[in-house]
Structure 1
Amino acid sequence: MTDLYDSPQPVLHTATDRGAKLTLRPAQLGDAPGVLAACLDPETLRWTTVPLAYDHEKAVDFVTGYAPGWWERRQGAAFVLADADDAYVGQIDLRVSADPQVADVGFLTAPHARGHGYMSAALRAVAEWGIRELGLERVEWKAFVGNDGSRRVAERAGFTYEGIQRSGCAYRGERRDAWVAALVRADLTAGATA
């Protein structure tokens, strides 16, 4: 990868199409209640691999261990998405694969923050950062077939839908089909010249 990992994980700034300012930053202990609430939401449990028995201890483990661990292991970055008041509105992970030029993303939006364009803006910012700063060529998004909200987020962030990967994701001991989309370096170049 790059020497970027020798520095603290960066803080990114972006805004929605409606002008709402957002910060993508490393998780903090104060984010644990927001993480817990989001991970107990029925829609989150339906569409993600968040453990069913999520509790305060797991939320604290997420913000103090799991999230910073990606950066510490030089395998990507986990960001908390915070609104203009620095309140938790979601989280997004960029995870570098065995191929160091490819990463995948995972995200969830707090129920109260859905429908405001926050995650589309965050996803685009994180994907562009990964391509420009980590040297990625491809950032992949996957979601279980039927997760229309996640698909809208990816498409609004500029990801190109590529199709269905049969048995593409593990979910609670089973394999499920997944939608796949990607943003590649050439997409950023094409956008700059359009």
Structure 2
Amino acid sequence: MTDPYDDPQPVLRTVTDKGAALTLRPAQLADTSGVLAACLDPETLRWTTVPLGYDHEKAVGFVTDYAPGWWQRRQGAAFVLADADDAYVGQIDLRVSGDPEVADVGFLTAPHARGHGYMSAALRAVAEWGIRELGLARVEWKAYVGNDGSRRVAEKAGFRYEGVQRNGCAHRGERRDAWVAAVVREDLSAVEEEA
């Protein structure tokens, strides 16, 4: 069996529930302004670990170092979500933990692209790809308790809610309770059997 990391990071294509085309691809320098705008958004800062004081240099670093670094280290992949015009609408990371069969996801949607179904389609595609192509047994989602938008995305993408992990996430120097949900390999088998 060949190692998927021996090839370039793939490009994934999917559609939203509303039929809009969505491409998940490696980050490009043209995405820098979209990354910067998304990472300066107050809701992004409220619910993610994007560092305060995000600037153009950090956005370039995301594109040139952070995003490609996951694939280069053979620890997962970071994708930019691009709409039908190849414009940045968000980003999603699939990060393999110390257990090579388990990954977690982190994502954010650009403010102008929220409510279009992009992220739930992307999350579903990334989880299925990770299980099928990277051999994962489990893909986990966590969000700070109260992040209802992220929870709706995860549930719409087929993640099953598992409960609250007390002090489950760090956020700007403090611990916060986290909701936890997951997709496991058997979930994909069950969906295929129903089809």
Q: Give structure 2 stretches of 5+ with no counterpart.
A: none
Q: How does 1:49-64 map to 2 (within 5 A)?
A: 49-64=49-64
The TM-score normalised by the length of structure 1 is: 0.99
- Residue 175 of structure 1, CA deviation: 0.4
User: Contact conserved, 1:119 with 1:153, CA < 8 A, in 2?
Assistant: yes
CA contact (8 A) 1:2 1:134 kept: no
* Residue 108, structure 1, aligned to residue 136, structure 2: no
What secondary structure sits across from 1:19 in the alignment? coil
Counterpart in 2 of 1:173? 173
Gaps of 5+ in 1: none
| Aligned positions of 1:82-121 closer than 5 A | 82-121=82-121
Match of 1:186, as an amino acid?
Answer: E
Cα separation, 2, equivalents of 1:193 and 1:6: 31
1:134 paired to 2:159: no
* Alignment deviations for residues 47-80 of structure 1 (CA, whole Å, 9 cap, x no partner): 0000110000000000000000000000000000
Per-residue deviation, 1:2? 5.7
Q: CA RMSD in A?
A: 0.9
CA distance in 2, matches of 1:33, 1:50: 15
Deviation, structure 1 residue 30: 0.6
- What CA distance in whole angstroms lies between the structure 2 residues aligned with 1:173 and 1:41? 20
Q: What SS does the aligned partner of 2:74 have?
A: coil
What is the aligned length? 194
Q: Report the 3-state secondary structure (helix = DSSP H, G, I; strand = E; otherwise coil) of the residue aligned with 1:146.
A: coil
1:87, distance to aligned residue in structure 2 (A): 0.1
Q: Deviations over 1:69-120 (max 9, x none)?
A: 0000000000000000000000000000100000000000000000010000
1:26 alignment partner AA = P
CA distance 1:2–1:177, change in 2 (3 Å): farther
- Tell me, what secondary structure is at the counterpart of 1:90? strand
Alignment-derived partner of residue 152 in structure 2: 152
Match of 2:69 in 1: 69
In 2, Cα distance between equivalents of 1:185 and 1:4: 18
Sequence identity, in percent? 85
TM-score scaled to structure 2, two decimals? 0.98
Q: Deviations over 1:136-178 (max 9, x none)?
A: 0000000000000000000000000000000000000100000
SS of alignment partner, residue 50 of structure 2: coil
Instruction: In structure 2, give the amino acid aligned to 1:141.
Output: W
